[in-house]
Structure 1
Amino acid sequence: MVSSRPTSSTSRGTKKTRRGGADCDTARIGFVGAGKLATAIITGLISQRGQVDPKRIYVSAPTTINTDSLKITYPGIHTSKRNIDIFGRFDCDIVFICCPPNVIRSLYKIGGSRPAALTTNFIPNMRHPVYIISLVFGFTVQQIKECLLNPENPGRYTAQFFRCVISHPIAYGVGHWWIDTEPDSERFPNLVREIFTRIALIEYVPESLLDTVCIIVGSGITFCYYFINAIADGAVKKGMPRKMAVKFAAKIASSTSQTILTTDINANQLKEDASSPSGGAIYGQMILDKSEVSSGICGAIEASYKRSQTLALTGKTENIE
């Protein structure tokens, strides 16, 4: 792998004038925020098929709780407590905004009609292309721009902004990435596509639906793990070893999902096709219906959305009911 680019003022100036943009082997990838999703993306990039040298990863967070752990796991990662370093001192080419929505909301409260800068000072005019990708629930691309670009001259930047949702399994090289731009279009940067198609399937979703996608992906994955574990519990209750039971349940979940995606047949119809008259499956479904499992899962999605919306609208992190 190519080592980090030099950081002296002279060499940086030379670098910026000679390159129109980085490539897959030199691009610096930055993260504003070091939570679970940022960690999952970093893990996928380094540990899985991403093949990215840790020295090309840069992370900013207000505390060192998560960044210290990252540096131990992946020696060579660069960290800072200052968000501005991602764009200034570290000079990243691709930047993920991974902070919680309450952080962005607090900037609007501080700044009033015009938000305060996420990076304390607005980001510098980077003389090479920089791709800024927001994963923040509840805030549009335009709102994220207002937290980063100098409002006195926003047109002087060479930055491109995108909004997306990334699933946690990206940590294991099997994630999905839903973005507000057609991934095969000219607007979608080749650099981003070439690096991230190694560890995720990239698909287009209109920005208007990304908040809903965020909840389905973020909470839905958790609920799927919950359901797989519940199926495994039933097998364990009947004498199957735990490890074997979990594998069987996961394989069933995987093949079921692939059937829906491959055939495009409605899940209800497939459920009927798999249930024999007076068979065990229909008796089990009656127990699920009696326990209101379906409405419970639907309610859980709604509760997740409401909680995320509360964080985005109020900026408060304590329990609000």
Structure 2
Amino acid sequence: MEQRIGFIGLGNMGNAILQGVLASNIVPGTQIYVYDTHPEKGQALNQSYSINNLSSGRDVARESDIVFIAVKPNVIVDVLNDIQKELKKNTIVVSIAAGVTIKTIANSVGYEQKIVRVMPNTPALVNAAMCSITPNTEVTDEEIAVIQSLLNCIGATEVVPEYLIDAVIGASGSSPAFVFMFIEALADGAVKGGLSRKQAYRFAAQAVMGSAKLLLETGKHPGELKDMVCSPAGTTIEGVQTLEERGFRAAVMDAVAATIKKSQVLAEK
């Protein structure tokens, strides 16, 4: 890849994306430019990968063909206003800030600027993310493919229109928290049954990971896969009935709906 890649902000998510790109070797460190308010982060990466650790976001914007804005949503407008004059016409501005719309970004950098809004999730920290990619009309199909290739370094990607991002947040952005709660509950039940806490977490987490892998790789409907586990008059169907009695599916659907509603409120602000 010939493009020079910039990162403004090296928090958990920005650093996860950067580390994924570096590990993939699709972009050498010499073509990567970074800035963080904690300069020691960039200094460490410079020593390990020979990346360019710059002294300001403006410097990163000036040098980059693609610049990831990986700062908190409450400061992104200030950062965009600061770098706006340094952006080239063809520079692609990639935002990972939740709740910050393309319109808000364009108000700072200009409506003719190439803008991509990305919604990753925390499994990016172990290269197992699911990222939505939403470009504005200035971004070409070839440029979208480049952004996908970068983000595929930390997991998987899907291109979605902006009006669906709130639903993405419910299904993917916020849902790891729900999954962790489910794993914790599974483990608690197993501990109650006599399993050690350490083993319970391992059994539960591996079951969730394996089940997701089975769904993705077979392409089978989740209901079909569930039925494969439910033997007649067996143990699993007893547990399924209990979950249904407790409103398990409705509770999950309500949780996703609540995150969508909150995301819409934040975007309006």
TM bucket (normalised to shorter chain) is 0.7 to 0.9
Provide the residue aligned with 1:87 in structure 2. 61
Provide the residue aligned with 2:206 in structure 1. 251
The amino acid across from 1:29 in the alignment is G
Q: Does 1:288 align with 2:240?
A: no
Q: Does 1:30 align with 2:7?
A: yes
Shift in alpha-carbon separation, 1:300–1:135, aligned structure 2, 3 A: same
Could you give the per-residue CA deviations for residues 221-240 of structure 1, whole angstroms, max 9, x where no partner exists?
Answer: 12112212222222233333
Aligned with 2:142 (options 186, 191, 196): 186
Q: CA deviation at 1:306?
A: 3.0
CA distance in 2, matches of 1:284, 1:261: 24
- What is the Cα-based RMSD across aligned positions, in Å? 3.5
Could you give the per-residue CA deviations for residues 150-201 of structure 1, whole angstroms, max 9, x where no partner exists?
Answer: xxxx65xxx52222222322222232332136x99434254x4554433332
Match of 2:265, SS state, is helix
CA distance in 1, matches of 2:164, 2:46: 38
Provide the residue aligned with 1:111 in structure 2. none
Matched pairs, number = 261
Contact 1:178 1:202 in 2 (8 A): yes
Match of 2:142, SS state, is coil
Q: Relative CO higher for 1 or 2, CA cutoff 8 Å, sep ≥ 6?
A: 1
Aligned with 1:161 (options 90, 107, 115): 115
Contact 1:132 1:162 in 2 (8 A): yes
Could you give the per-residue CA deviations for residues 79-138 of structure 1, whole angstroms, max 9, x where no partner exists?
Answer: 65x6434314xx22321233444446xx6xxxxxxxx883246332537x4221122334
Q: CA deviation at 1:68?
A: 6.1
Aligned positions of 1:98-113 closer than 5 A: 98-103=70-75
Q: CA deviation at 1:58?
A: 1.3
Aligned positions of 1:32-181 closer than 5 A: 33-46=9-22, 48-49=23-24, 53=29, 56-60=32-36, 64=37, 67=38, 70-71=41-42, 74=45, 78=53, 83-88=57-62, 91-103=63-75, 118-120=80-82, 122-126=84-88, 129-149=90-110, 159-180=113-134
The amino acid across from 2:106 in the alignment is K
Contact 2:17 2:151 in 1 (8 A): no
CA distance in 2, matches of 1:239, 1:184: 57
Match of 1:277, SS state, is coil
Shift in alpha-carbon separation, 1:125–1:259, aligned structure 2, 3 A: closer
Contact 1:40 1:168 in 2 (8 A): no
Match of 2:165, SS state, is helix
Q: Going by fraction, where is helix more abundant, 1 or 2? A: 2
Percent identity, please: 27
The amino acid across from 2:92 in the alignment is Y
Q: CA deviation at 1:220?
A: 0.7
TM-score (norm 2): 0.77
Report the structure number with the largest CA radius of gyration: 1
TM-score (norm 1): 0.66
Q: CA deviation at 1:281?
A: 1.4
Could you give the per-residue CA deviations for residues 270-316 of structure 1, whole angstroms, max 9, x where no partner exists?
Answer: 323321233221222233234333222222222323333333333xx
Q: CA deviation at 1:206?
A: 2.6
> Which ranges of structure 1 fall in alignment gaps of 5 or more residues?
1-21, 108-115, 315-321
CA distance in 2, matches of 1:79, 1:187: 25
Contact 1:30 1:93 in 2 (8 A): no
Q: CA deviation at 1:213?
A: 0.8
CA distance in 2, matches of 1:134, 1:236: 42
> Which ranges of structure 2 fall in alignment gaps of 5 or more residues?
none
Could you give the per-residue CA deviations for residues 30-79 of structure 1, whole angstroms, max 9, x where no partner exists?
Answer: 13x45442233234344x4457649934134xxx5xx3674586465736
Contact 1:118 1:148 in 2 (8 A): yes
CA distance in 2, matches of 1:194, 1:260: 23
CA distance in 2, matches of 1:281, 1:298: 22
